Amino acid sequence: VASCMDVMSADETHLDSLVVVVLGASGDLACKKTFPALYELHRHGLLSKQFHVIGYARSPLDDEQLRSKVRDTLPSGSRTEDFLDWLSYVQGQYDEAEGYKRLLKKVEKFEEESGCERCGRLFYLALPPSVYPDVCTQLKPCTVENDRRWCRLVIEKPFGRNLESSEELADTLGKLYPESQLYRIDHYLGKEIVQNLSVLRFGNTFMSAMWNRHLINNVQITFKEPFGTEGRGGYFDEFGIVRDIIQNHLLQVLALVAMEPPVSTSGDDVRDEKVKVLRCLEPVKPEDCVLGQYDGYRDDPTVPDDSKCPTFASCAFKIHNERWEGVPFILKAGKALNERKAEVRIQFNDSKSSVFDYHLPRNELVMRIQPDEGIWMKTNVKEPGLSTSIVQSELDLSYVDRYNGFFISDAY
């Protein structure tokens, strides 16, 4: 889970036993992302030796049917079968207590049979936000902490559909759980390059010196997918590309690129600086946006025939502070495009040098988030040989070449 390790303290990662409950276990997100991420943590020895994964959903499945469903998303081999042996299933409704009673019995049974003195319970909600209040209310009896047990709830974005629903959801959850138990996550923050942004900025003197409006012309943050909704049209049509990608994933990246140096790397200090940037953002105007919908989107049977839901958006943001005044931050996201790519591209100002009698290409710093993680700086150099022409080349840090053999986890 993207930061399954981040929701636990150093002591908690060495628990005697751990139960991970995935709610929405039969859904697309759980099968394609959550279970494979848990498998990778298990494969690299990052879960407790005594662990159990329990899926909970409304679908009428048994243990073996869920294992078969998950097995299709994992590599074949003995490690996979070992992981699946620790996977079980509980069927139940999200708004009725009976299913959660069965879930609690299964959790308690595992904890008792493990014979461990300490244990942890991690509840991951791979669900739409509309069911969060019901699920979190019904889960309350399962999340009682004591001297030998901690509990965490991990809630995925989108956190509500708009400001009103987000505040209502925050109020509901705040009445049920202390903040120490709640983790509202955006898995994009678990991306390797996104985690590297702060180190790149604040750990290199030359980067810090050029990170401002005097040298930077514009910042482009791009997210592209080569496929459409693939059967998730009903969910996607409720939110659209702006809510699904731009207002969470890409705004998080924008905040990390634009924030001032935090006092420390603690979560609270980083959050404070990100909030300062977001408060300096000018509300986006219609004339600063381009919206579109790919041809064939409404052919999905789960999408309304008259849907005007955008599947592509490009928005120019303005940050009104001393560092970034006048520098546009252009956020672009879309489905069914020509390639899969997510990156941050920083374009520097045109060269003012009068030495050359022709226009030079702009320098660029590119941080490729996915696929094929990498960081490179585009620089102007003389073409090799007898030529005096100037060509653009890259100072290239390709992760697949430089860090061959390192384990780079999926963000989940």
DSSP 383: P
Which one, of 128, 123, 177, lies nearest residue 152 by Cα? 123
Which helix (H) or strand (E) element contains residue 97? helix 97-114
Is residue 14 part of the annotated active site? The answer reads no
- Six-digit token pair at 23? 């709610």
Residue (of 217, 328, 208, 218) closest to 261 by Cα position? 208
DSSP bridge pairs for 156:
185
Distance CA 142, CA 152 (A): 10
Active-site residue identified among 42, 187, 249, 320: 249
Closest CA to 396 of 379, 376, 378, 381: 376
Cβ-contact 150, 183 below 8 angstroms: no
Contact 45, 78 (CB under 8 A): no
Report the relative pairing of strands 341-348 and 364-370 from DSSP bridges: antiparallel
> Strand, coil or helix: what is 398?
strand
Which class for 105: exposed (0-12), middle (13-18), buried (19 or more C-beta within 10 A)?
Answer: exposed
Torsion angles phi and psi, residue 391, rounded to 5: -125, 165
Q: Which of 279, 353, 261 is nearest to 320 (CA)?
A: 279
| Contact of 307 with 297, CB cutoff 8 Å | yes
CB 178 within 8 A of CB 358: no
Q: Among all residues, which ones are annotated catalytic?
A: 249
